[in-house]
Amino acid sequence: MTPDQVKLVQDSFAKVVPISETAAVLFYDRLFEIAPAVKALFPADMTEQRRKLMMMLAAVVKGLGDLPSILPAASALATRHVSYGAKAEHYPVVGAALLWTLEKGLGDDWTSDVAAAWTTAYGTLSGYMISEAYGRPQAAE
C-alpha cells in the first residue's frame, strides 16, 4: 500500500468510528444476506462479535502504516478463524460485505480512491491471512 492509500483508509475509517455499532450491524446483515451459510459460524447473540469486529478493524487500520506490526495479530486471527470453520473462500465474501458496508456508511465520502485503497488494504491482509491459515496465498477482494 502506498502512504496515500494508508491515509485514505485511516481518514475514512475515522468517519466510520462514530457509527461503529451501526456499521457492524450493516456488515453482518450484508454478510448473512450474501452468504447465508456462514451465519452458522457465528453466535446467536452478535453483540460481542460486532464489538470485536470494530476493535479489530480499528487496530488494523491504525497499524497500516507499519504493516509488519499487525501481521502477528493477523496471523493469530487467521488461525482462530480456521478453528471456527472459516474457509479460504469466505474471505472474498467478507471483503465484499466490508466494502459494501463502508460505501453505505461513508456515503459521498466513498470515492473511487477510497474504494481502491480499502480494496488494496483488504486484499493485502486477507491474502496474508489465507496464506497463514491455509498455506497458500490467494487473491481475496
Q: Which CATH number is 63's domain given?
A: 1.10.490.10
- What's the pTM value of the predicted model, to 2 decimals? 0.90
Q: Is the pLDDT of residue 13 over 60?
A: yes
Provide the domain count of the chain. 1
pLDDT given at position 115: 98
Tens digits of residue pLDDT in 80-136: 888 888 899 999 999 999 999 999 999 999 999 999 999 999 999 999 999 999 885
pLDDT given at position 135: 83
Residue 139: inside a domain: no
Residue 141: inside a domain: no
CB atoms within 10 A of CB 50: 18
User: What string of H, E and C letters represents the secondary structure of 109-134?
Assistant: HCCHHHHHHHHHHHHHHHHHHHHHHH
